[in-house]
Structure 1
Amino acid sequence: MKYLLAVLVCIMLGIGSRMNTSALPDFVVKHFGDALWAAMIYFGVRALFIRMLTMKALLISLGFCFVIECSQLYQAQWIINLRDTLFGGLILGKGFLYADLARYIVGAIAAYALDRLLKETEQP
């Protein structure tokens, strides 16, 4: 349940970082959306596979993010049309950027670190 809540928080913050661009610092607008997307993927993996080791969840979520980013190099018309939809664009992205890979690493590692920190504080 806590991981689903974390997914929702990441979605809300990520969409907020894309909608309120004039009210946010440029650094936040430029980098946080992709980092939050990767964090959302990490928490989604944890929600689906609750007993999975956190390191394995981190590696799977990073692999997923990298595959999605690399898929943006594929430019067939049908997938371009899909990316031009709201949900297609949010899930598949628009264009490949090496910087996005770094943002994914930061976001997924931040989610992993938060997960580990909260696990340590839960245990007696």
Structure 2
Amino acid sequence: MGRTRKSVDVDRKTNRNTGVKSCWKARAVYLAAVLVAILLGLGSRTFSSRLPEFVANHFGDALWACMIYFGLRMLWVDRRLSVALWGSLLFCFAIEFSQMYQAPWINSIRATTLGGLVLGKGFLTADLVRYTVGIAVSWALDQGCQRLAGITTRTTHIDDDESFK
């Protein structure tokens, strides 16, 4: 007939444990996507002389933005995809606009390999387009993969069930 409060609490605990495990699986998948984006991005810079000119000129920045998107998804697996989309756009645009600031201390950081990869060197409007395309492609891939896997992007919490309050 009805369920006892104890059985409901056990079900909630089981659902939370299952949710925690699936969060870690999702994080692992997004970490793999981050690493693939890094490898492809570094490859596009390293082997630029062997790639078509369009790929060599544009893919590195787009892949950097992909890495940022998947990195945010790795951190925020329980949030909507749009949060990572807008968050990564905001982050990438902020980094690009920060390149207008050319003080000696930050330029010395940008002169290092890691600093140059993370902070860039100088402002380019074209980079904003590259970032937007990279993030849009990442978002579309993410959304498509989630649909194929039958994952809903809206999170619901069992604690929100009004019948138990």
Q: TM-score, normalised by structure 1?
A: 0.98
CA RMSD of aligned residues (A): 0.8
Q: Secondary structure at the match of 1:55?
A: helix
The Cα of 1:92 is off from its aligned counterpart by 0.1
Give the share of equivalent positions with the same residue, in percent: 56
2 CA distance for matches of 1:39 and 1:108? Answer: 5
Which of the numbers 100, 124, 128 marks the counterpart of 1:73?
100
Which of the numbers 64, 67, 78 marks the counterpart of 1:51?
78
The Cα of 1:114 is off from its aligned counterpart by 0.2
Which AA in structure 1 matches 2:117? L
Q: Secondary structure at the match of 1:36?
A: helix
2 CA distance for matches of 1:21 and 1:68? Answer: 23
Which of the numbers 20, 23, 29 marks the counterpart of 1:2?
29
The Cα of 1:21 is off from its aligned counterpart by 1.2
The Cα of 1:59 is off from its aligned counterpart by 0.2
Larger radius of gyration: 2
Which AA in structure 2 matches 1:45? L
Q: Secondary structure at the match of 2:142?
A: helix
Instruction: Point out which structure has higher relative CO (alpha carbons under 8 A, 6+ apart).
Output: 1
- Alignment size in residue pairs: 124
Which residue pairs with 2:149 in the alignment? Answer: 122
1:26 maps to 2:53: yes
Q: Secondary structure at the match of 1:50?
A: coil
Which residue pairs with 2:126 in the alignment? Answer: 99
Which AA in structure 2 matches 1:41? I
The Cα of 1:104 is off from its aligned counterpart by 0.2
Which residue pairs with 2:135 in the alignment? Answer: 108
Q: Which runs of 5+ in 1 are unaligned?
A: none
